[in-house]
Structure 1
Amino acid sequence: MSDQEKQARWRIEADAQACMGTGICAGVAPHRFQVVDGRSKPSTEEFPPDDAVWDAVESCPMEALRVRDTVSGEVLDLS
C-alpha cells in the first residue's frame, strides 16, 4: 500500500430524499452506517478506505449513497 493510499480518507454522503431506510447498508457495514428516523446516516464523519463501504453502496436499492475522497472532494467511482 502506497503512502497516498495510507493517508486516503473517505466521507459517505446519503441522499435523504432518495433513501428508503431499508437498512441494507447498515447490515452490510454496521460500523459505517446506521438508520436514524428511517434514513441512512454515516456513523463517522471521515474514515480510511473500507471495502465494506463499497459493498454497502453497491447494495443500496435506491442508489442513495456516495463516497467522496476528503482531499480532492471527488465522488469515487465503483467501477
Structure 2
Amino acid sequence: MADRWHIEVDRDLCIGSGMCVGGAPKEFRLDAARQSHPVAPDREPSEEVLAAAEGCPVEAITITLAGTGEAVFPPED
C-alpha cells in the first residue's frame, strides 16, 4: 500500500492564481480571499496533486508523506 500524502498551502505565499484549481479541481478550492486550500489535506498519492504543486507559480504547495513528514514536493536537495 502506498504512503498517504499530506498537502499544505502556504497562505503567505499563495497569490490566488487558481492554477491548482484549474489543474486539479477536485483537489483544491479557492476561498473568498482567493487563497488555495486542499480539499482533503491527507490523501492517497495523486498525479493531479503533484502536477498542481509543480505548476504553482510561487511554489506555495508542499506535499509530505503523512506518516513521516518526508518531503515529496518540493524535493529536498
TM-score scaled to structure 1, two decimals?
0.85
Counterpart for residue 55 of structure 1? 51
Q: Distance in 2 between matches of 1:60 and 1:45?
A: 17
The structure with the largest helix share of the pair is 1
- The CA deviation at 1:45 is 2.6
Cα deviation, 1:1-39, whole Å, max 9, x if unaligned, reads: xx3x2xx11111101001000111011011111111211
Gaps of 5+ in 2: none
Structure 1 portions without partners, runs of 5+: none
- What is the aligned partner in structure 2 of residue 46 from structure 1? 42
Bigger fraction of residues in strand: 2
Indicate the structure (1 or 2) with the bigger Cα radius of gyration: 1
Contact 2:8 2:41 in 1 (8 A): no
Please give the alpha-carbon distance, in whole angstroms, between the structure 2 residues aligned to 1:74 and 1:38: 28
Instruction: Quote the RMSD (CA, aligned, Å).
Output: 1.4
- Rounded to whole Å, the distance in 1 between the matches of 2:14 and 2:44 is 24
Matched residues, percent identical?
34
Aligned ranges 1:1-79 → 2 under 5 Å: 3=1, 5=2, 8-36=3-31, 37-77=33-73
TM-score (norm 2): 0.87
Task: Go from structure 1 to structure 2 and tell me whether the alpha carbon gap of 1:78 and 1:16 turns closer, same or farther (over 3 Å shift).
Answer: closer
